Amino acid sequence: MDLNLPNNNSSTVTILIPCLNEDKTIRRVVSSFKMQMPKASILVIDNGSFDNTVHEASSAGASVVVETRRGKGNAIETGLRMCSTDYVIMVDGDSTYDHMDANVILRELSSGYDMVVANRVSVSENAYRKGHLIGNRLLSTVQQKILGVEVVDTLSGYRGFRRNFVQNYVASSSGFEVEANLNIFASIVGAKVGNIDSNYGARHKESSSKLNTLGDGLRILLAVTKLMFNWRPLLMYSLIGSALLGISLTFLSIPVSEYLKTGQVLHIPTLIVSTFTLFFAAIMFFLGLIANQIVNFRIENARRDFKLFRS
């Protein structure tokens, strides 16, 4: 797909804007970033809008690509695959992020950070839905404390990348859980991550959020759980094994206590079920150890490749 993006030596930045039905705001977003960074390439990945988003973005001077596979993750994957500049700054097309901070992100990237994330600081009472705010804090805590992610606002859609990060990134999410995947990838490969504070405003009154608080929150939570199984298997299998062990010992105590008192086992089914449960608990611990060895091997290889590409 030929984008005819600028390829001169002074154009070292691509502004990547995934969007869906943002014709009320996309022109303003594109124009703001063109004013802030006149030499940057502006690439809009339209996710199948049925309004005038494509026309508005093109009229504002952006290169537009339509990604027919629905989902923000698919749009971002396509956009990143098309970027060949030294730096990429990703931002949503709803005009809630502060374009003035693009230079701050670029400065942090040029100083050596592989990924820089804008921590959203609300400047409007309507910037966040209450459910989204609670969900974001919960998921941020899970990723930071359990998965070792160094990102403050883990679901922020305003972030920048060095070329080495973009070229090595392995996409595995199609929807709004893409930010979680980017965070985990950064943690896995040992990327240098920076955080900045950035003003975050309310959406345009005629622009509606594509997030479904319950549905997307559940999808992101499931994605984080999947990522934990993929990259922290010993912890996850140990949790399952511990639960099975607790259940097994609780029910096994009944026939054991019975045998010690009477010399007989009357609750045969309880003995059988609890023994099988104990067996499965042992299997969970064993699987966790094996998976952990495999993951450690994958992590070492990923970090080695990332460092080689970075140098």
Q: Please identify, among 201, 229, 257, the residue that sits at the C-terminal boundary of a domain.
A: 229
Provide the CATH number for the domain around residue 168.
3.90.550.10
pLDDT tens digits, 79-127: 999 999 999 999 999 999 999 999 999 999 999 999 999 999 987 655 5
Supply the pLDDT for residue 220: 67
Instruction: Give the separation between CA 174 and CA 192, rounded to whole angstroms.
Output: 25
Give the C-alpha distances (Å, rounded to integers) separating 268 from 221, 274, 276, 295: 40, 10, 12, 40
Least trusted range by pLDDT, from 57-71, 200-214, 269-283:
200-214
Mean pLDDT of the chain: 85
Query: Do 205 and 186 share a structural domain?
Result: yes
Residue 57 inside a domain? The answer is yes
Query: Do 291 and 273 share a structural domain?
Result: yes
For range 11-15, the mean pLDDT = 88
pLDDT tens digits, 206-248: 555 555 556 666 776 777 787 778 878 999 999 999 999 999 9
Residue 1 inside a domain? The answer is no
Query: Do 260 and 133 share a structural domain?
Result: no
Query: Do 76 and 34 share a structural domain?
Result: yes
- Structural domain count, the chain: 2
Supply the pLDDT for residue 2: 39
What's the order of all strands across the beta sheet hosting 193-200?
Answer: 63-66, 41-46, 13-19, 87-90, 159-162, 115-122, 193-200
Token representation of residue 210 = 């594509």
Give the C-alpha distances (Å, rounded to integers) separating 102 from 26, 73, 132, 213: 16, 22, 24, 28
Q: Please identify, among 207, 229, 251, the residue that sits at the C-terminal boundary of a domain.
A: 229
Query: Do 209 and 84 share a structural domain?
Result: yes
The neighbour count for residue 234, using CB atoms within 10 Å, is 18
Question: For residue 52, what are the domain limits?
Answer: 13-229
Query: Do 197 and 168 share a structural domain?
Result: yes
Strand 63-66 relative to strand 87-90: parallel, antiparallel, unpaired?
unpaired
Q: Please identify, among 229, 253, 275, the residue that sits at the C-terminal boundary of a domain.
A: 229
Q: DSSP E strands: which ranges in the chain?
A: 13-19, 41-46, 63-66, 87-90, 115-122, 159-162, 193-200
**What's this model's pTM, rounded to 2 decimal places?**
0.77
Between residues 192 and 128, the one the model is more confident about: 192
